[in-house]
Structure 1
Amino acid sequence: MVVSHIDSVKIIRNSAPYINAHRGKTFVLMFGGEAIEEANFANIIHDIALLNSLGVRLVLVHGARPQIDQRVALRKLETRFHQGIRITDKQTLECVKDAAGSVRAQVEALLTMGLANSPMHGSHIRVCSGNLVVAMPIGVRDGVDFENTGVVRRIDVDGINDHLNDGSIVLLSPMGYSATGEVFNLSHEDVATKAAIALHADKLILFNHHDGIISKEGRLLRNLELDALYPMLDEPFYADERQSLQAIISSLEAGISRCHTVSYRQDGALLQELFTRDGAGSLISQTSYEQLRQAKIEDVGGILKLIKPLEENGILVKRSREHLEQEIEQFALIERDGMTIACAALYPYVEDKMGELACVATHNDYRGGNRGERILDAIKIQAREQGLDFIFVLTTVTAHWFQEQGFVEISLDELPTKKKLLYNFQRKSKVFKLAV
């Protein structure tokens, strides 16, 4: 696909709010050894360098499982696991140190590259690593001695922050060191999780084989809350992702507000996830005591109470209780402690592949908390699931908010024919459209 000069300008302009939002924030990025062997990994490094140049504080945590397996096989050593955890004897530890050191050198070399005509030209990135992870042994479990396999005991927060404050990227390996001078083999998921929590990171971002978290039906789950992940831990379908899911769960439970998963195979997935409205992977947020769900007949009273002030001010078209009861299945809402605080409806025009977004309302006491954006995202997902390409909205007062969400103004002629026949010329509503 050829991107025109105008398209490039639009991309830069549309990314500006995200650039401003991410500047000065701390992100922990986690990728396994499989990502490092992927042909696209050099592009990921280029994108990481761009984040660094935009003022994002970056901690990279790499794994090395396939590289360790290769070295164990070359030395013809016995590979031993218990409860899915590698038992690291002295000989295997040498393979771990060799593999982790090799991967670290590879990542550092890529981040140092600055050839002319390359995305890294002129970047001058400093990469810092070292004894920033203090570890302790797992010990003996079920009568099995894990020897030099360990867990994170402490993250050197001050040391990492010193490097980040200097503008450096911090690189952490899946190894830790003890006060007794021992070296321990760690899981990179454990290192990334403990680092994100200790640093009070703004985001934990995981690279994996898939585009994000995939449903059992094969659909990318773009937006999830923490509660949705707990059942996945026990699902055989998610067995290969269990460690990543647990890392996300532990991070969110400890106060990290957002986690993302993106593909290490898709070029530009990291930038698309962070700098575009729709993203490229999965965004997982903390469990909220505000529930976003489809409306039920029992919600009619709450919706009527919510929209009544807006109807009285002429912002919304008046709806009777009977009308709302008949159309309740079209509504989504956000409920807080039993009270409806936001709602919106989607009326599909299937033959035109368009849907009308209507009755968008947020309680006056709960505005400014991105609830409108949350419910709009839910409507967009519904529209896509129904095979619609666009949603449109008619508004007399809130045009600016819809424009901020990416809607563009259109003429009446672009509306579905059935909707044009119902247009109220006395209200003189403006019409806006958004691709879903």
Structure 2
Amino acid sequence: MKSNEWLHGFRHSSPYINAHRGRTVVLTIGGDAIAHDNLINIIHDIALLSSLGIRLVVAFGARPQIQSRLDAANEESTFHRGLRVTPEQQLTPVLEAIGGLRAYLESQLSMGLVNSPMHNARIRVSSGNYVTARPVGVLDGIDFGYTGQVRRVDVAGIEKLLELGHIVLLPPLGYSPTGDAFNLSYEDVGSQVAAALQAEKLIMFAENQGLLDENAGLIRELSARQASDRLAAGMVQGHDGDLLRAACDACVKGVRRAHIISYVDDGALLEELFTRDGAGTLVSGDNYEQIRQARVEDIGGILGLIQPLEEQGILVRRSREMLETEISRFVVAERDGTIVGCAALYHYPDEGAGELSCFAVDQAYRRAGRGDDILAMVEKLARGQGIQRLFVLTTQTEHWFRERGFQPSTVRELPGPKLASYNTQRNSKVFVKALSQTG
């Protein structure tokens, strides 16, 4: 007797098809997945999703392909804190590897052979400069060169393409207003684009079925808070940690669900979207803000926020005693009873200057405008104190401050007391912003 299992499954997928039609889904596909034999099936499934009316953005990676190019050119690879250092002389092979993969993926999505799942698909694929980036900068004294981080997403540009029914293909590249190209983490691109678009889902391909527990069993579901706790406890590391971190970041910023599925298992994408149990690990957003003057009871939260950055050498160390005496200088961003951002303002009245210092935002809450809100609060306070120029010392966030009106300056231009205490070993860069008293 003929089996009708396919018919049963097809009928029961109808509610999921209806639920996803017209929704935005962001997929991330790493270079390992692109090199795997199962890629052709993933391509077929992407074509099917597009034909069902799902708005698709595909962010892809190219790590093994970049490594292959660099090996062929006898270029040594350097990694620090899990990131590739991209010096200027290696930028060309990086761009070549990424460009080659982009062309390859476009060609695969353009197939239309008779008797294939792609027949008559006529998929339109668009790519472009939709991600603005900034350099990672200097970490632990190491200049990361042309390795960057997502700074801004051209939401309007991507939305226009999605409305036209295009699949938007995003490489692990970002561009700056200065005309530079930066090598990005594709997980970061996918997560930040999903958040900016307020996508329904972020789906990330991994080698394993999903996230595995300590007994190699599949973790079916985690809340963003549970996932963050596992990361903080060091229970998830390596590439799985990168994926889970990206999932948490997206969910915290408004993406309803993030999924980690296997690029090895045929049909994992369809199973995750169109069946009740799914195929991988689901990370769901937690439904839980204010910028205000800090209080003494905030000191514990501020310490918890800045100590990891102090240990990394990003911020100058501050003791609890120092915070207690200087707490009136601080502002904080509070979310659901947790301090997720802070900054301090130090006044040098003899020179009409103020220093923006100890500026930090929890990693899980970055790129959602909180930094801008904190900066606006500090500038308001500075104007109220008659401060005419605001300066900041930074080793990594040069582009962020320049984008917000800060101009390069020199150490010699620092107020006398600050110049006397300047740490030459940190080699921080100085930026200054003139403050209009009208706001």
Superposition TM-score, scaled by structure 2 size: 0.64
| Matches of 1:204 and 1:237, distance apart in 2 | 19
Alpha-carbon contact 1:210-1:262 (below 8 Å) kept: yes
Counterpart residue number, 2:34? 36
Alpha-carbon contact 2:135-2:148 (below 8 Å) kept: yes
From 109, 112, 115, the counterpart of 1:111: 109
Alpha-carbon contact 2:243-2:260 (below 8 Å) kept: no
| Matches of 1:74 and 1:232, distance apart in 2 | 39
Partner SS for 1:245 = helix
- The one-letter code matched in structure 2 to 1:228 is Q
Counterpart residue number, 1:91? 89
Partner SS for 2:91 = helix
Question: Deviation at 1:226?
Answer: 1.7
| Matches of 2:229 and 2:122, distance apart in 1 | 45
Partner SS for 1:21 = helix
Counterpart residue number, 1:255? 254
Partner SS for 2:4 = helix
Partner SS for 2:119 = coil
| Matches of 2:138 and 2:32, distance apart in 1 | 29
- The one-letter code matched in structure 2 to 1:286 is G
Q: Work out whether 1:283 is the aligned partner of 2:272.
A: no
| Matches of 1:215 and 1:250, distance apart in 2 | 21
| Matches of 2:277 and 2:82, distance apart in 1 | 36
Question: Deviation at 1:25?
Answer: 0.3
Counterpart residue number, 2:151? 153
Partner SS for 1:170 = strand
1:292-319 residue CA offsets vs partner (Å, 9 max, x unmatched): xxxxxxxxxxxxxxxxxxxxxxxxxxxx
Superposed counterparts of 1:180-191, under 5 Å: 180-191=178-189
1:99–1:138 CA distance, 2 compared to 1 (3 A): same
Count of matched residue positions in the alignment of Structure 1 and Structure 2: 287
| Matches of 2:206 and 2:109, distance apart in 1 | 20
Greater C-alpha Rg: 1
Counterpart residue number, 1:123? 121
Structure 1 vs Structure 2 CA RMSD:
1.4
Question: Deviation at 1:195?
Answer: 0.2
1:94-114 residue CA offsets vs partner (Å, 9 max, x unmatched): 121011111111111110000
| Matches of 1:178 and 1:240, distance apart in 2 | 27
Superposed counterparts of 1:202-241, under 5 Å: 202-233=200-231, 234-235=233-234, 238-241=237-240
- The one-letter code matched in structure 2 to 1:143 is G
| Matches of 2:92 and 2:238, distance apart in 1 | 29
| Matches of 2:154 and 2:260, distance apart in 1 | 25
| Matches of 2:74 and 2:159, distance apart in 1 | 41
Deviates more, 1:240-249 or 1:161-170: 240-249
| Matches of 1:18 and 1:141, distance apart in 2 | 45
Counterpart residue number, 2:263? 264
Question: Deviation at 1:68?
Answer: 0.5
Could you list the runs of 4 or more consecutive aligned residues of structure 1 that deviate by over 6 angstroms after TM superposition? none
1:235-294 residue CA offsets vs partner (Å, 9 max, x unmatched): 2653331111110111111111111111000000000110011111111112357xxxxx
Partner SS for 1:204 = strand
From 148, 172, 175, the counterpart of 1:174: 172
1:272–1:4 CA distance, 2 compared to 1 (3 A): farther
Alpha-carbon contact 1:216-1:237 (below 8 Å) kept: no
Alpha-carbon contact 1:222-1:281 (below 8 Å) kept: yes
| Matches of 2:229 and 2:26, distance apart in 1 | 25
1:28-78 residue CA offsets vs partner (Å, 9 max, x unmatched): 001110000110001001000000000000000000001001111110111
Question: Deviation at 1:9?
Answer: 1.7
Question: Deviation at 1:17?
Answer: 0.4
Q: Work out whether 1:20 is the aligned partner of 2:18.
A: yes
From 88, 99, 102, the counterpart of 2:100: 102
| Matches of 1:232 and 1:223, distance apart in 2 | 13
| Matches of 2:10 and 2:238, distance apart in 1 | 39
**Unpaired segments ≥5 residues, structure 2:** 289-439
Partner SS for 2:90 = helix
Alpha-carbon contact 2:248-2:283 (below 8 Å) kept: no
Alpha-carbon contact 1:139-1:147 (below 8 Å) kept: yes
1:102-135 residue CA offsets vs partner (Å, 9 max, x unmatched): 1111111110000000000000000000111111
- The one-letter code matched in structure 2 to 1:60 is V
Superposed counterparts of 1:383-402, under 5 Å: none
Counterpart residue number, 2:48? 50
Partner SS for 1:124 = coil
Counterpart residue number, 1:246? 245
Counterpart residue number, 2:136? 138
| Matches of 1:95 and 1:190, distance apart in 2 | 21
Partner SS for 1:49 = helix
Q: Percent identity?
A: 50
1:117-164 residue CA offsets vs partner (Å, 9 max, x unmatched): 000000000000011111111112222111111111111111101100
| Matches of 1:110 and 1:184, distance apart in 2 | 26
Question: Deviation at 1:187?
Answer: 0.6
| Matches of 1:138 and 1:114, distance apart in 2 | 41
1:186–1:115 CA distance, 2 compared to 1 (3 A): same
| Matches of 1:258 and 1:59, distance apart in 2 | 15
| Matches of 1:107 and 1:70, distance apart in 2 | 18
| Matches of 2:75 and 2:238, distance apart in 1 | 26
Alpha-carbon contact 1:89-1:148 (below 8 Å) kept: yes
| Matches of 1:126 and 1:105, distance apart in 2 | 13
